[in-house]
């Protein structure tokens, strides 16, 4: 067994990394190396540096060690060891998360599931795939494709993000109005508690006895259990799909058109909106063929049998015309459909090209309040002197305003944070939520104090205690302590109503 | 009204006296009997908010299911999970708390898949809200879905927001003759193809398949599948959903066996009714609990003694110790005095 070279460990950490206690690090690494190969336990800063942050790179922290278990036995060993030594553990997939869910805690062990990346089984008759947590989202659909099946949730990071991370964040995508989120498409999660005990949530049947712990674990931001295997539902690939690209000269009209489509009894496979600043950024980048004169564009997708799609496209076109669309284009073939979508899917990188940095928000609102919220965002642009293009999962009310700023200018960073906080508070006020799909992580802890009362937060902490009494698994994420909320010192906005709603507020 | 319910809970908690949380009491048979003072939520009734173009309805828990479904039908929408109505007078709160779903579950998901948010009273009488009225919401743990199927043991539901769906433009039902094993294989093969199958039922060598969707899609699926067209099948599916079909009207023990859809036949004595593409197998049998549960477990599933238990046999499938520990701790967090429907699900909870 490879032992830790104590001398080099001390040398490499002690002097340069005041945050890490070298003795503690030696103890933890030595214990972990009793059962894990040396190359699966990293501790030198040059090796652990890539794990210091996830997609939310404004927050960074080096862990004591990074472990890369290759199988369930090793995961169980790591958890039991850390549980015994009271070391916090942070599970990590591809690190594409946008809210700091995989940010290491101080003096923690970062548990990467990247090596557990095998597709264990695809059963085309039962329409399920059994996969390890490190399997990429898109790889599941690739493996199912020969059978005419696919895995529906398609977060925009799907070529990189893993199913384990999708489970942790309850990831969505552009098709979830019709096909649901991760929670609707995962049948079973197998994993370990922080104490190192094996547990299964859900099953390959459609339900399980007892409480719905599966629903509780999905979206729990890696705080309740470490996922080691997932059974996902596969669904038949639609025979065909078409998308309508509709232009509007007014954002409100576009938003009314969305409501009108749904009121017509249509559930489109995808229903996305982009405002003019967003389409202009994208068009320069990918040349999707968007109408640059439009104040907003809608992408309305229909999928199914050729007859079904034909029927639905005709009905949607009629609604869009009636609602004042200034221009309508229906994709003529698959390559044009992909091109129409390419712009939407490239929205974040496109915006990244026109600004040194951008800050992506993720509030969800009741759709009927969209006009009001967009006006509010425009007002905030003026107030803080920052631009903010909008892309929007219009079908399910999930907004992604992107505040453009330069992180090298501390004042801009500060204004960005204040801008985002006001928008999130607005989302709560109109009866929505601070996060639709990106998670709370470390990023939106303060806003949780606005969305929930202290009793509600206390029940969330109770859920955490029920799974992890010592509070060692991904600590201090997702749910703020009551102490933090008191320091934050802002009012809890209850279900869209501020205390004393009769008073004007500015 | 919520304050009155909360006061009752606080009083019961202070005295350590159990409460039997009930709506229309149409599912009293489900789970173990609770000998306690009833807490009737029916007086907290009515639609709070319904916006058809948002696909969301928010209702008070005591609202009769009939009223909710009528309200939705007026706007050509529905509760897609088709909650069973075992008797008139059931409430939406009971439908969610029981976690039961009807024939369409195989295509659209269960009640838990449609719960967007709840307002509830915990076992201390705290008035709490989780989730919301929007489709996508990952703020905090998903406590509202945890309440679906918790049988009122973690809290008293007072308001519920549900996703609703448009009613299908067309439906058709096809009938085929095939033995059990062939029917299970066949329906699973069909479900792997892009066909608008919304329900299936097999009994005594007869497989019925319901198709729902756009008229063109339903017609083309009928043409592809063949079989014999069943007219006026609505009554049939209603009798499956509400258990008014002859099969379910029995005094013998009725088991609900939930297995992976492709699981091989149970091979237990008695009569069987298979739904959900093979994933739900109702069984009227004299076989003992151990035998039924062993057969379910061997196929990766579980068995519930749905009706007709002897009061001693556990109704719900026993949980592994690690899962039961989590259940016990959750119960303690939400209902520290153990006063809400104690023992209805498991004697430990």
What is the band of A503 on the pLDDT scale with cuts at 50, 70, 90?
Answer: very low
Looking at residue A307, its pLDDT comes to 87
Q: What percent of chain A has pLDDT over 90?
A: 82
Nearest CA in chain B to A170: B138
A273, A275, A328 from A294: Cα distances, Å? 12, 8, 11
- Partners of A207 on chain B (C-beta within 8 Å) are 99, 110, 149, 258
**Interchain contact, A210 vs B346, CB within 8 Å:** yes
Average pLDDT over chain A, rounded to whole?
91
**Interchain contact, A210 vs B316, CB within 8 Å:** yes
What is the band of A11 on the pLDDT scale with cuts at 50, 70, 90?
Answer: very low
From the CB of residue A157, how many other CB atoms can be counted at a distance below 10 Å?
Answer: 21
From the CB of residue A460, how many other CB atoms can be counted at a distance below 10 Å?
Answer: 21
A375 DSSP β-pair partners: none
B150 in reach of chain A (CB within 8 A): yes
Q: Name the minimum distance, in Å, from the CA of B151 to any CA of chain A.
A: 9
What is the band of A5 on the pLDDT scale with cuts at 50, 70, 90?
Answer: very low
Looking at residue A18, its pLDDT comes to 58
A101, A223, A439, A484 from A59: Cα distances, Å? 11, 18, 15, 18
- Partners of B148 on chain A (C-beta within 8 Å) are 212, 215
Report d(CA B63, CA B65) in Å as an integer. 6
Task: Answer yes or no: is pLDDT of A31 > 90.
Answer: yes
Quote the DSSP letter at residue A364.
B
Could you say which of B126, B192, B302 has the minimum Cβ distance to residue A236? Answer: B192
Task: Answer yes or no: is pLDDT of A498 > 50.
Answer: no
A466 in reach of chain B (CB within 8 A): yes
Quick one: average pLDDT of A242-263? 94
A149 in reach of chain B (CB within 8 A): yes
Task: Answer yes or no: is pLDDT of A14 > 80.
Answer: no
Supply the ipTM of this predicted assembly. 0.97
Average pLDDT over chain B, rounded to whole?
97
Looking at residue A487, its pLDDT comes to 87
A179, B27, B34, B306 from B30: Cα distances, Å? 31, 5, 11, 6
Nearest one of B239, B244, B242, B233 to B209, comparing CA atoms: B233
Q: Which two tokens stand for residue A388?
A: 């903010």
- Partners of A213 on chain B (C-beta within 8 Å) are 146, 323, 326
Task: Answer yes or no: is pLDDT of B31 > 90.
Answer: yes
pTM of the full predicted structure?
0.95
Tell me the pLDDT tens digit for each residue of B44-65: 999 999 999 999 999 999 999 9
Nearest CA in chain B to A306: B217
Please, which residues 291-310 of chain A have a Cβ atom closer than 8 Å to chain B?
Answer: 304-305, 307-308, 310
Tell me the pLDDT tens digit for each residue of A354-403: 999 999 999 999 988 988 999 899 999 999 999 999 999 999 999 999 99
Report d(CA B244, CA B236) in Å as an integer. 9
Report d(CA A367, CA A235) in Å as an integer. 28
Nearest CA in chain B to A448: B139
What is the band of B209 on the pLDDT scale with cuts at 50, 70, 90?
Answer: very high
Please, which residues 274-333 of chain B have a Cβ atom closer than 8 Å to chain A?
Answer: 276, 279-280, 300-302, 304, 316-320, 322-324, 326-327, 329-330, 332-333
Tell me the pLDDT tens digit for each residue of B138-174: 999 999 999 999 999 999 999 999 999 999 999 999 9
Tell me the pLDDT tens digit for each residue of A292-334: 999 999 999 999 989 889 999 999 999 999 999 999 999 999 9
**Interchain contact, A308 vs B279, CB within 8 Å:** no
């Amino acid at each position: 067994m490879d032992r830790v070279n104590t001398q080099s460990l001390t040398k490499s950490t002690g002097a340069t990394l005041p945050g890490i206690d070298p003795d503690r690090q030696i103890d933890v690494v030595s214990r972990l190396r009793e059962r894990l190969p040396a190359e699966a336990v990293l501790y030198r800063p040059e090796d652990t540096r890539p794990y210091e942050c996830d997609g939310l790179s404004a927050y960074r922290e080096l862990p004591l060690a990074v472990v890369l278990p290759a199988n369930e036995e090793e995961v169980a060993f790591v958890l039991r060891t850390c549980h015994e030594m009271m070391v916090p553990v942070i599970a990590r997939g591809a690190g594409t998360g946008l809210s700091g869910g995989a940010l290491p805690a101080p003096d923690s062990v970062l548990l990467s599931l990247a090596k557990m990346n095998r597709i264990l089984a695809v059963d085309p008759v039962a329409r399920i795939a059994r996969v390890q947590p490190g399997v990429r989202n898109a790889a599941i659909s690739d493996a199912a494709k020969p059978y005419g099946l696919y895995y529906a949730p398609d977060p925009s990071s799907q070529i990189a993000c893993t199913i384990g991370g999708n489970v942790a964040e309850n990831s969505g995508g552009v098709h979830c109005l019709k096909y649901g989120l991760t929670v609707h498409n995962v049948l079973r999660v197998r994993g370990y508690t922080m104490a190192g005990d094996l547990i299964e949530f859900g099953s390959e049947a459609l339900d399980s006895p007892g409480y719905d712990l599966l629903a509780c674990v999905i979206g729990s931001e890696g705080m309740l259990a470490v996922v080691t295997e997932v059974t996902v539902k596969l669904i038949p690939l639609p025979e065909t799909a078409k998308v309508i690209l509709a232009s509007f000269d007014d954002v409100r009209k576009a938003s009314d058109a969305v409501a009108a489509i749904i009121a017509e009894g249509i559930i489109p496979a995808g229903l996305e909106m982009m405002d003019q600043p967003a389409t202009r950024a994208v068009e320069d980048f990918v040349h999707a063929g968007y109408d640059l004169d439009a104040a907003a564009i809608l992408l309305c997708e229909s999928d199914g049998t050729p007859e079904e799609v034909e029927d639905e496209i005709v009905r949607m076109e009629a609604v869009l015309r009636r609602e004042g669309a200034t221009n309508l284009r229906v994709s003529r073939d698959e390559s044009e459909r992909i091109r129409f979508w390419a712009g939407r899917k490239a929205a974040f990188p496109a915006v990244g090209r026109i600004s040194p940095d951008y800050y992506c928000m993720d509030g969800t609102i009741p759709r009927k309040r969209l006009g009001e919220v967009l006006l509010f965002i425009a007002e905030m642009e003026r107030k803080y002197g920052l631009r903010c293009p909008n892309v929007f999962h219009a079908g399910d009310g999930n907004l992604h305003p992107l505040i453009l700023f330069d992180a090298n200018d501390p004042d801009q960073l500060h204004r960005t944070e204040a801008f985002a906080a006001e928008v999130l508070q607005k989302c709560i006020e109109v009866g929505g939520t601070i996060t639709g799909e990106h998670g709370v992580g470390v990023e939106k802890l303060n806003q949780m104090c606005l969305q929930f009362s202290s009793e509600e937060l206390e029940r969330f902490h109770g859920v955490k205690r029920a799974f992890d009494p010592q509070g060692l698994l991904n600590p201090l994420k997702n749910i703020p302590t009551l102490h933090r909320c008191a320091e934050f010192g802002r009012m809890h906005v209850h279900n869209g109503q501020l205390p004393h709603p009769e008073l004007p507020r500015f | 009204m919520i304050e009155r319910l909360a006061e009752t809970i606080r009083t019961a908690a202070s005295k350590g006296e159990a409460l039997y949380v009930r709506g229309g009491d149409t599912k009293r048979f489900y789970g173990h009997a609770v000998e306690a003072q009833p807490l009737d939520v029916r007086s907290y009734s009515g639609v709070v908010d319904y916006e058809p173009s948002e696909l969301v309805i928010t209702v008070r828990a005591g609202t009769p299911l009939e009223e909710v479904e009528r309200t939705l039908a007026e706007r050509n929408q529905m509760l897609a999970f088709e909650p069973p109505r075992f008797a008139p007078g059931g409430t939406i709160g009971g439908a969610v708390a029981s976690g039961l779903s009807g024939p369409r579950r195989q295509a659209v998901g269960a009640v838990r898949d449609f719960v967007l948010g709840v307002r509830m009273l915990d076992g201390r009488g705290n008035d709490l809200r989780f989730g919301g009225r929007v489709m996508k919401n990952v703020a905090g743990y998903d406590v509202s879905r945890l309440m679906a199927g918790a049988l009122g043991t973690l809290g008293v539901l007072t308001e519920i927001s549900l996703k609703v769906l448009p009613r299908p433009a067309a439906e058709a039902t096809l009938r085929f003759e095939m033995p059990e094993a062939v029917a299970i294989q066949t329906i699973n093969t069909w479900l792997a193809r892009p066909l608008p199958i919304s329900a299936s039922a097999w009994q005594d060598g007869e497989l019925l398949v319901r198709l729902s969707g756009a008229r063109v899609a339903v017609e083309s699926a009928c043409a592809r599948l063949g079989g014999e067209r069943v007219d006026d099948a609505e009554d049939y599916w209603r009798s499956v959903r509400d258990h008014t079909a002859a099969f379910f009207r029995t005094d013998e023990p009725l088991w609900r066996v939930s297995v992976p859809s492709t699981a091989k036949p149970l091979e237990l004595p008695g009569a069987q009714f298979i739904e959900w593409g093979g994933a739900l197998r109702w069984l009227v049998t004299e076989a003992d609990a151990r035998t039924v549960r062993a057969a379910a477990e061997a196929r990766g599933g579980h068995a519930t003694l749905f009706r007709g238990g002897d009061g001693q046999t556990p109704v719900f499938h026993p949980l592994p110790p690690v899962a039961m520990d989590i259940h016990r701790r959750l119960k303690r967090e939400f209902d520290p005095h153990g006063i809400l429907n104690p023992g209805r699900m498991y004697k430990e909870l």
